[in-house]
A and B are shown apart, each in its own frame.
Chain A
Amino acid sequence: MAFKIIASQCTQCGACEFECPSGAIKFKGETYVIDPKKCTECEGTFETQQCASVCPVSKTCVPA
């Protein structure tokens, strides 16, 4: 029930951070990280996972 970010592909644009409805995404050190305890996969809030929908690089925000 959580997503993760493939750090090596992330461009660090930060769009996922401000689209995440659960406040689960934070910039840590060199990359953005999804807190699995907070991530709801947007269930009940949006049809699609917001991080994956806005991410410019395909297959970078993926199910953990």
Chain B
Amino acid sequence: MSAPMISLQGLSGTTVFDQSPARAKSGGCASSSCGSSAKPHEMDSAVWEKIKDHPCFSEEAHHYFARMHVAVAPACNIQCNYCNRKYDCANESRPGVVSERLTPDQALRKVIGVANEVPQLSVLGIAGPGDACYDWKNTKATFQRVAKEIGDIKLCISTNGLALPDRVAELAEMNVDHVTITINMVDPRIGAKIYPWIFYGNRRYTGVEAATILHERQMSGLEMLTARGILTKINSVMIPGVNDEHLIEVNKWVKERGAFLHNVMPLISDPAHGTHYGLSGQRGPKAMELKALQDRLEGGAKLMRHCRQCRADAVGLLGEDRGQEFTLDRLPDKVTYDASKRETYRAVVARERGDRLAAKSEALGMVKTAGSGKSLLVAVATKGGGRINEHFGHAKEFQVYEASPKGISFVGHRKVEQYCLGGRAEDKSLDGVISTLEGVDIVLCARIGNCPEDRLKEGGIRATEAYGYDYIETAIGALYAAEFGSEPLAATA
């Protein structure tokens, strides 16, 4: 390859990687208490080694690494009230939705095709529709074939847990060291409101009996994974009035049994999806209700806040979906794995993330020395790499950070309709962007035009391109110091 750096442009462009972080200095805060949830030194080093390249398990990694899902296991052994197996849509982005199901051979072709084109790829997951542990033959065949071709790819599955205890030994044998179990209850009476039936031991069970079996299998599967050192993330769907309060109890149970991360996701409920909840008018939680619950869970099992509830055939960094670029008809008939792009990328990331960590530590020091009791909510336009490197008008989502005396923490993302499409700015979508950014104090982006900047200002939100291409934390640290610092620290190194 004559110009390997070009292949990395999908992330953030060569100029970005070549820029040395202007504000990065060593030193700053050395205390471990200043870290955000993803800092490696707060974590057991063996665990960090396992998650550091996994975008869903590590908040830090999601800036650099991509995952792909292959839908090879469509059969399921339970029915959930938030799922409708008949629904399929290319334009929807949510769990369970796929545009094509693959055989293990087709999946291998797709994984190689993506690995050759997307250097950020680090994880292959099987996450529906269906259950990877129940439709085991297909799951196993896919993992074995892919692992043989691409030795360093991480394998992970998502499961409802009913068939999990039967598969733990084989998962361990195949080096699957990341498993997600969806656990929505630990009280079968609540489970009976979420699961109309399960299929277990050659028959269908309903009601509390069904939920009791599911609950017992989920707990024993989790314990077995923990015993083998397999990292387990718990997904819970927050269903207002059904299990919202109960998730506090769920969080305790899974933490006690060794779950590494707890991801509380909002119920997606729309009559058009044809799910039981959609049709019966069960609402999903509002963004602030979700945040309030997540805040109450702080101190229990560690929370995941960067989940995008992606499609079951998603490809790419979290927050972007390139799945439609890699449908079977767009892949060559014969593919051969070429490791060069992924290897080059990993070398760049190793250097880059070291720089960023130092910059982050410096930034946290700035926030603390500012000595203000106030907090600042900052929305960032980014296309990855932990940098402010996206134009305001091109952003499909903003990452929201909170800077306070406690430090700088990622609080979530807000999806928006792209304001600028094909060079043309849409006034109507700007209104939508402004209302989505409600509560945010300032927007940081690589570029913004005068007109949208003025319109944002009218809505009480400032925006600036002054920190374009900086590391996110560096910029927020400098911004916070400039806003609240008694003697503003010079932001230049």
Q: How far is the CB of A20 from chain B (nearest CB, A)?
A: 11
Chain A residue, CB-CB nearest to B129? A13
Q: Is the interface of B mostly helix, strand, loop or mixed?
A: loop
Q: Which of B72-80, B365-373, B376-384, B441-449 forms contacts with chain A?
A: B72-80
Residues of A within 8 A of B424 (CB): none
Residues of B within 8 A of A54 (CB): 75, 77, 199, 204
Contact with A along B250-261 (1 / 0, CB 8 A): 000000000000
In the complex, A12 Cα to B79 Cα: how many Å? Answer: 16
Q: How far is the CB of A28 from chain B (nearest CB, A)?
A: 16
Q: How far is the CB of A56 from chain B (nearest CB, A)?
A: 4
Q: How far is the CB of A53 from chain B (nearest CB, A)?
A: 4
Q: How far is the CB of A63 from chain B (nearest CB, A)?
A: 17
Residues of A within 8 A of B75 (CB): 13-15, 18, 54
For window 2-61 of A, CB contacts with B under 8 Å fall at 9, 11-15, 18-19, 46-48, 50, 53-54, 56-57
Question: Residue B39 at the A interface, CB < 8 A?
Answer: no
- A47–B76 CB distance below 8 A: no
- B86–A13 CB distance below 8 A: no
Interface size bucket, B side?
Answer: 10 to 19
- A15–B204 CB distance below 8 A: no
In the complex, A53 Cα to B101 Cα: how many Å? Answer: 23
Question: Residue B351 at the A interface, CB < 8 A?
Answer: no
Question: Residue B19 at the A interface, CB < 8 A?
Answer: no
Question: Residue B492 at the A interface, CB < 8 A?
Answer: no
Question: Residue B202 at the A interface, CB < 8 A?
Answer: yes
Residues of A within 8 A of B77 (CB): 15, 54
- B101–A47 CB distance below 8 A: no
In the complex, A55 Cα to B258 Cα: how many Å? Answer: 34
Residues of A within 8 A of B148 (CB): none
Chain B residues at the A interface, C-beta cutoff of 8 Å: 74-77, 79, 85-86, 101, 129-130, 134-135, 137, 199, 202-204
Chain A residues at the B interface, C-beta cutoff of 8 Å: 9, 11-15, 18-19, 46-48, 50, 53-54, 56-57
- Please name 28 pairs of A and B residues whose Cβ atoms are closer than 8 Å in the assembled complex, sorted by A: A9-B86, A11-B86, A12-B74, A13-B75, A13-B85, A13-B129, A13-B130, A15-B76, A15-B77, A15-B134, A15-B135, A15-B199, A18-B75, A18-B135, A18-B137, A19-B199, A19-B202, A46-B203, A47-B202, A47-B203, A48-B203, A50-B202, A53-B202, A53-B203, A53-B204, A54-B75, A54-B199, A57-B85
